[in-house]
Amino acid sequence: MDSKEYYLVTSIIIASFVLLATSDDQSCSALSKEDTQTCGCQTNRQHASLSPESRVNVDEFDADKANVNTKAYASHLNDLVVEAGVPSLQNYQEKSNSDENYSMDNGKTPKCEHNCFSEDLVEDMVLIPGGKFTMGTDSPIFIADGEGPARLIEVKPFYLDKYEVSNAKFAKFVKETNYVTEAEKFGDSFVMELELTHAVKSTITQAVAAAPWWLPVKGTDWRHPTGPDSSLKDAWHEPVVHVSWNDAVAYCKHLNKRLPTEAEWERACRGGKENRLFPWGNNFTPANVHRANTWQGQFPTADNGSDGCAGRCDVSRFPPNAYGLHNIIGNVWEWVEDWWTVDHVNGKSPPSFGTDKVKKGGSFMCTEQYCYRYRCAARSQNTPDSTASNLGFRCAATRPVAHG
Residues at the site binding Ca ion, with contacts judged by CB under 5 A: 293, 307, 309, 327, 331, 361, 364
Give the helix/strand (H/E) hosting 79. Answer: helix 63-83
The least distance separating Ca ion from the CB of residue 46, rounded to whole angstroms, comes to: 25
Closest to Ca ion by CB, 90 vs 304, is 304
Give the helix/strand (H/E) hosting 38. Answer: helix 33-38
Closest to Ca ion by CB, 228 vs 286, is 286
Closest to Ca ion by CB, 186 vs 214, is 214
Q: Cα–Cα distance between 396 and 383 in angstroms, integer?
A: 21
> What does DSSP assign to residue 281?
B
| Residue 344: C-alpha distances to residues 37, 276, 307, 361, 375 (Å) | 20, 19, 35, 19, 18
Q: What's the sign of the alpha-carbon dihedral 383, 385, 387, 390?
A: positive
- Which residue from 88, 67, 68, 90 is spatially nearest to 79, judged by alpha carbons? 88
The least distance separating Ca ion from the CB of residue 34, rounded to whole angstroms, comes to: 26
The least distance separating Ca ion from the CB of residue 269, rounded to whole angstroms, comes to: 9
Closest to Ca ion by CB, 39 vs 313, is 313
Give the helix/strand (H/E) hosting 189. Answer: strand 188-192
Strands of 108-165 (E only): list them.
125-128, 131-135, 151-155, 158-161
The least distance separating Ca ion from the CB of residue 291, rounded to whole angstroms, comes to: 12
- Which residue from 403, 317, 328 is spatially nearest to 360, judged by alpha carbons? 328
The least distance separating Ca ion from the CB of residue 378, rounded to whole angstroms, comes to: 12
The least distance separating Ca ion from the CB of residue 313, rounded to whole angstroms, comes to: 7
Closest to Ca ion by CB, 53 vs 390, is 390
Closest to Ca ion by CB, 204 vs 332, is 332
